[in-house]
A and B are shown apart, each in its own frame.
Chain A
Amino acid sequence: DAGVIQSPRHEVTEMGQEVTLRCKPISGHNSLFWYRQTMMRGLELLIYFNNNVPIDDSGMPEDRFSAKMPNASFSTLKIQPSEPRDSAVYFCASSYTVLGQPQHFGDGTRLSIL
């Protein structure tokens, strides 16, 4: 069975550019999560969706960040404009329900903003 698929695996871009990260959750999972991981702050929840609807976006750091889930099999996380402090590994995860069920993670996108 295919796991959570994220693309790209690596992204290097200059400050001010738009960055779009993509995620395909596991088929049948109805909850999707976006995380950011850094050495300093650990794994931080940015936003999660249930049945394609954003439930909690309180972790989104600024208006420069936005996330969409147009259908059950695809989500995007967009940063516009990007800044060097956005450099991190961004993970997407999915699960059967919002809370209580273990999450299945993709391999992440390593983002470097120069």
Chain B
Amino acid sequence: TQLLEQSPQFLSIQEGENLTVYCNSSSVFSSLQWYRQEPGEGPVLLVTVVTGGEVKKLKRLTFQFGDARKDSSLHITAAQPGDTGLYLCAASGTYKYIFGTGTRLKVLA
């Protein structure tokens, strides 16, 4: 069974702090996506990473795909209350698209 494990499961930090969220698997993926979900809404795509070692930046968010394409990280610099939400990684498995277990982030003002 292909699984995407995310850590930490929950994270509560103060505005202005930095944080890193991890997405790990024992499987190799051809691509990996990060989504953010806010209460009452569906997940919204943030970024897609394809190449091992790839780094993408989206304003204060930095995404990295592991060299072996088995893991990924999301780093947020100077977190703001607007970053609050559920962060999900997702990847194409052998026969289906799978989502990670999620990291629920709360940024306190």
Contact = CB atoms under 8 A, between A and B. Distances in A.
B44 interface: yes
Interface of B: 30-31, 33, 40-45, 48, 88, 90, 92, 95-99, 101-102
A93 B88 CA distance: 15
A107 B45 contact: no
Contacts of A100: 30-31, 92
Interface of A: 4, 33, 42-43, 45, 48, 56, 91, 93, 98-100, 102-108
A4 B88 CA distance: 19
A45 B41 contact: no
Given A99-B92, A100-B31, A100-B92, A45 B97 contact: yes
A109 to B, nearest CB: 11
B102 A93 contact: no
B44 A42 contact: no
A45 B45 CA distance: 17
Contacts of A43: 43, 88, 99, 102
A35 B101 CA distance: 14
Given A45-B96, A102-B45, A105-B43, 19 more contacts: A4-B42, A42-B99, A42-B101, A43-B102, A45-B98, A56-B96, A91-B43, A93-B42, A99-B92, A99-B95, A99-B96, A100-B31, A103-B43, A103-B45, A104-B45, A106-B42, A107-B40, A107-B41, A108-B41
B42 A91 contact: yes
